[in-house]
Amino acid sequence: MDTATTTELGWLPHFCLAGYLLFLLGIGLWGFSKRKAGEEDYYLAGRGQGWMVSSLTIMATFFSSAAMLGAPGMVYKEGVVFALFALNVPLSGAMIYVLGNRIRKIGQTHGHITPADLVCSHYGSPVALRCLVALIGFLYAVPYVVIQIQAGGIISSQLFGGEHAFEIGACLLSLVTMLYIMIGGMRSVAWTDALQGTLLMGGMLLAGAAAVAALGGPSAFFEKVGELPRTSLSVPGTTGSFTPEKLFTLCIFGALGSMIQPAQWMRFYAAKSAKALRRSAVIFALGLTACFLFGVMLVGLGGQVLYPVAKPSADGAFEYQVQADGQAVAVSEAKLPERLAEGGKPLPHPDVGEGPRDFDQIMVVVLKRHLPELLGPAGLLLATLVIIAIMAAAMSTADSNLHALSAVLTRDIYSGILRPGASEKSRLWVGRGVIAAATLLALGMVFVSRSSESFNPIGMIMPMSLLAIAFSSQLLPVTFDVLFLKRGSRQGAIAGIVAGMLVVLMFSPLLTIVTGSDSAAVSLFARLKQIADIGFCGVVVNVAVFTLLSVIGKRTRS
């Protein structure tokens, strides 16, 4: 197949995208018309969400551009091993009921709105713990919003081309999302999420079907996949990053960390009943995993066939393109681990992108080029719809996180600490200001990262998402203690969270910025990262400190 052939999508995406964005703004206005006075209505839609809206908004919040672009990008880069990451989704689904229903019950009884409300009322820590829980919310939400905006830019540059397509797409996604949250609050966010959740589930399955069809149907698809390099079909993958132990910790903490982040926590509060969460759990566990395994993961695998990352050489071995010292060099399969250990980064096929982070573009490239070729005008329409579904995935996660961040900073920091007597009206306006400020901050980070050669903290979508989840995972020990064990102390909770967050920070790009890329600390944490998930490392330290201080505190008191 001639992979260089490009089928232009014409003006159809422009019209569809414009219609979609206007529809979202319409839902924002509808949410505004249904509003009732008060914070509880703005942040939790009056705690009245039924199972249908609950399940769709929880799914849409969970499924971000990391699922639609990042996951197929990782399968395209690493091979079939990353498809197993989908097995974290059923565990996440179970947590919707196991953790979510307890959170909902306590929240409804005591009128909680943010995660810190529940944690702080349990431990009786009005300032320190509240600040820490809010900080975790901030460290989760901001990177997540940043990568959604980046995804908006990627889609736009792939769809429309041109010099400033990335910037226009990123700005448009940010602006529309910011507007409908500010106008309608949780009601608008939940209903737009419901629409976006439906769109993205359909889009994921359609994308998988497109990749299979592009290779001539299921038999031909797997026949060609079977000819891929050995590393693409086995564990630990092309770069050797995904050992079973690492994948295991990644799945556990990916599942748990993403379910106790502020936006999901607030969705548990907003659910009307246990039934809403019970049904949401089953729909989530069964439906979303299927969308992953039979949808986007197949795009990554098909992408390896359509746009090979490794070319067979004369002796039958494969040869990869690796970026080393800013230059692209050909590296044989046998020498790949050595080159990667020296800091080399694998490169995608030139038709997909030119840089190491362009693996994320495989989804849009496959859809844009192959669906119209296969189905003509119908394929054009379907490709446009799936690309809009990717935009939906990015927007639904960005809106939920911006909305949750607004609640966290307003309720936990502004009215919880800075101005305890602030009126409800002023709190709501501060909340809207937070949404605007956070959107601009995230947009600024995307532009700085894109324009700077030396400062690029964002990188590929999936690693950035996993870092954000690692931060939110630091709430796990206190969450389990508050909901089930009830044996920890305030000092233990504070010290545990601080220790866990420090460990996660050591794995973040911050360490490279502070100590330089060739420092001993950076190489030590890079080696640790190869062994286990970042969140897991943080939680191990977190639990140890939490337990130790809780036990010491108990003995001292007795």
Partner 1 sequence: MVMGPGPGLRLINPEPTAARESLLILGVPVIYAWGLFWYGVQAAVVVSAYLTIWKPSED
- Tokens describing residue 428: 């709501």
| Binding range to partner 1, per CB under 8 A, among 26-34, 168-176, 239-247, 526-534 | 239-247
Residues 167-226 that bind partner 1 (CB under 8 A): 219, 222-223, 225-226
Q: Check binding of 238 to partner 1 (CB under 8 A).
A: no
**278 part of the interface to partner 1, by CB under 8 A:** yes
Residues 292-311 that bind partner 1 (CB under 8 A): 293, 301
Q: Which two tokens stand for residue 342?
A: 């020296």
- Joined tokens for residue 159: 């769809």
- Binding flag, residue 234, partner 1 (CB under 8 A): yes
Q: How far is the CB of 229 from partner 1 (least distance, A)?
A: 10
* Closer residue to partner 1 (CB): 53 or 549: 53
Cis omega (within 30 of 0) for bond into 244 = no
Position among 52, 172, 274, 324 found at the interface with partner 1 (CB under 8 A): 274
Does 87 sit near partner 1 (CB under 8 A)? yes
Task: Report the residue from 36, 110, 230, 419 that binds partner 1 according to the rule CB under 8 A.
Answer: 230
When the beta carbons of 286 and 448 are compared against partner 1, the nearer one is 286
Are the C-beta atoms of residues 80 and 232 closer than 8 Å to each other? yes
**Cβ atoms 262, 407 nearer than 8 A:** yes
516 binds partner 1 (CB under 8 A): no
| Shortest Cβ 97–partner 1 spacing (Å) | 6
Q: Least distance (Å) from partner 1 to the CB of residue 72?
A: 14
| Contact between 291 and partner 1 per CB under 8 A | no
Nearer Cβ to partner 1 (39/78): 78
Report the alpha-carbon distance of residue 135 to residue 129 in Å, rounded: 10
Can you tell me which of 88, 114, 150, 174 binds partner 1, judged by CB under 8 A? 88
Tokens linked to 369: 């080029």
State the Cα–Cα distance between residues 533 and 259, nearest whole angstrom.
17
Q: Which of 233, 375, 483, 544 binds partner 1 (CB under 8 A)?
A: 233
Between CA 264 and CA 548, with CA 493 as vertex, the angle to 5 degrees is: 135
Q: How far apart are CA 179 and CA 54, in angstroms?
A: 22
Count the residues of the shown chain that bind partner 1, applying the rule CB under 8 A. Answer: 42
Rounded to an integer, what distance in angstroms lies between the CA atom of residue 348 and that of residue 494?
44
**What token pair was written down for 197?**
């959740």
* 450 touches partner 1 (CB under 8 A): no
User: Nearer to partner 1 by C-beta: 15 or 222?
Assistant: 222
Write the DSSP assignment of 117-158 as a string of letters.
Answer: HHHHHHHT-TTHHHHHHHHHHHHHHHHHHHHHHHHHHHHHHH
Task: Identify which of residues 223 and 342 has a Cβ nearer to partner 1 in the complex.
Answer: 223
Dig out the tokens for 333 from the structure.
Answer: 């399969």
* 3-state helix vs strand vs coil in the chain, percent to 5: 80, 5, 20
Tokens of 489: 């102390």
97 vs 144, which CB is nearer to partner 1? 97
Applying CB under 8 A, among 27, 68, 74, 81 the residue interacting with partner 1 is 81
Residues 480 and 497: their CA atoms lie apart, in Å, by 13
Taken in order 312, 316, 320, 324, the sign of the CA dihedral is negative
Q: Is residue 94 close enough to count as binding partner 1 by CB under 8 A?
A: yes
From residue 12, give the alpha-carbon distance in Å to each of 149, 170, 375, 381, 466.
22, 20, 15, 7, 34
Our CB check for partner 1 shows the closer of 276 and 331 to be 276
Counting contacts by CB under 8 A, is residue 93 touching partner 1?
yes
The residues binding partner 1 (CB under 8 A) are 80-81, 83-88, 90-91, 93-94, 97, 101, 219, 222-223, 225-226, 230, 233-235, 244-245, 247-248, 250-252, 273-275, 278, 281-282, 285-286, 289-290, 293, 301
